[in-house]
Amino acid sequence: MTPKIQLALLPGDGIGPEIVAATRAVLEALDRRFSLGLSYETHEIGHASLARDGTTFTDAVFEACRASDGVVLGPVSHNEYPPKAQGGLNPSGELRIRLDLYANIRPSRSREGLPHYGRTGMDLVIVRENTEGFYADRNMHLGPGEFMPTPDVALAVRKITAQGSRRIAQAAFELARARRKRVTAVHKQNVLRVTEGLFLREVRDVAKAFPEVELEEQLVDSMAALLVRDAARYDVVVATNMYGDILSDEAAELSGSLGLAASINAGESHAMAQAQHGSAPDLAGKDLANPASLVLSAGMLLGWLGRRHGRAAFADAERAVDLAVDGLLKDPATRTRDLGGTLGTRAWTQILCNGLDGGSGRRP
C-alpha cells in the first residue's frame, strides 16, 4: 500500500485562512484525480496562536511541521507582531531557518490572456538564497543582525558564507540543466567586493561541474532594468537573499501579477509552499482574495514531493493544476477581481476544483 503523504497546513493571518482553505480544496481535488494519498493536519500560528498560547509560533507546531512531508504556509502579518521576547516570532523565518530551507524557488512566466510587461515568452525562475544575507532574523546565531550604537546610528550585518553560496548555486544549476541551460548570477561585486566576491567564487566553481549550462553575471541594478527591458531572455537567476527577494517580486509583476506568484522554500529533507504576497488584512473575510499564488505554490510542493518520493503522479498533479489555472486566466469571466474578473475566492476555487476532478469538486 502506498504510504500517506502528510501535509501541515498553517492558515496564518489576514486572508491566510481563506486561501489555505481554498488550497486544501484544490489539493483534495488533485488527490481524487491522481490518487496521491494526501492527509492533512491544521495548526494555528500568528495572531490566533498568540492569543491562545502567548506566541505566534509554538514549539509543538514546529515539531508537527518537522514531522510532516510538506508544509503549506498561509500569509502572516509579522510586522504587527510584538517583539520576539513577547512571543512575536515570524513563522516563515523560523521554518526557513529551523528546517534549513535554503532555496527559495520563484518562477515567473507570462500567461495567455493576461497583460504582461516581460515580453512574450517570459519564463524564468529566480533561485534565492533563503537562510542568510541582510535579514536580521536569519543571519546570527545569537543576538540581532541589526543594532544601534547610538540613537542616530543604525547598523546591519550581512552574512554570506561559502556553504550557503555553494548550495544555492548547485540548486540553480541543477534546475537550469533541466530547463534552457542558462544561469544568471546577480551580484554587486563592484562595490561589495568581499561578500559578493565570495558568492561569485562559489557560483563560478559550481559552474565547472555543469559545462552544458551557460553562466552569465549581472549587476543587481542592471538586472532590475534588464528584467523590464526583456525578461524573456532569462532562464534561471541565482541571487543572494535580499536581491532575490526584490527581483522576484519585480518579475512576478512583469509576468502579470504578484497574485500569481508561486514559490516553495526547499531544503534537503523538507519543503514549504508559500505565496509571495502578504496577508492583506483589509481583504480578510470578504471573499475577495485571489488564492492562485498559494494554489500554484502547493502545486510546486507536490512536484518536489514527487521527486523526493519517486511518485510520478505528483508531477502529473503539479502540471494539471498549472494548466487548469492557465485555463481560467484566459477568460475574464473565470478570473478573480484583482485580475479584471468578478469571482470571489470561493467561486474561483469551486470552478478550479470542478475542472480538476470532472465536476465533483466540493465547495471549500
pLDDT tens readout for residues 230-269: 999 999 999 999 999 999 999 999 998 889 999 999 999 9
Is 221 known to be catalytic? yes
Give the Cα separation of 79 and 300 in Å (integer): 27
Q: What is the pLDDT of residues 345-363, one digit of tens each?
A: 999 999 999 999 874 333 3
- Can you give the pLDDT at residue 306? 96
Identify whether the C-beta of residue 16 lies closer than 8 Å to the C-beta of residue 273. no
Taking residues 281-299, report their average pLDDT: 96
What pLDDT is attached to residue 151? 96
- Residues 158-175 have a mean pLDDT of 97
Q: Which residues pair with 127 in a beta bridge?
A: 105, 238
Identified catalytic residue from 249, 316, 326, 338: 249
Mean residue pLDDT across the chain: 93
Buried b (16+ CB within 10 A) or exposed e, 336-351: bbbbebebbbbebbbb
Mean pLDDT of 173-187: 98
* pLDDT score of 160: 95
- Note the pLDDT of residue 118: 59
Q: Tell me the average pLDDT across 1-8.
A: 86
Is 188 assigned a catalytic role? yes
pLDDT of residue 119: 64
Tens digits of per-residue pLDDT, 66-118?
999 999 999 999 999 999 889 999 999 999 999 999 999 999 999 988 877 65
Domains in the chain (CATH in brackets) are 1-107+260-364 (3.40.718.10), 116-255 (3.40.718.10)
Catalytic residue among 135, 159, 234, 322: 135
Q: Is 357 a catalytic residue?
A: no
Confidence of residue 1 (pLDDT cuts 50, 70, 90): low
53 is annotated as an active-site residue? no
Report how far residue 275's alpha carbon sits from residue 248's, in angstroms, rounded to the nearest whole number: 12
**13, 245, 322, 357: the active-site residue:** 245
C-alpha cell of 209? 561541474
- Quote the percentage of the chain above a pLDDT of 70: 97
Per-residue pLDDT at 361: 35
Marked catalytic residue, from 40, 53, 123, 188: 188
From the candidates 4, 117, 205, 221, give the one annotated as an active-site residue: 221
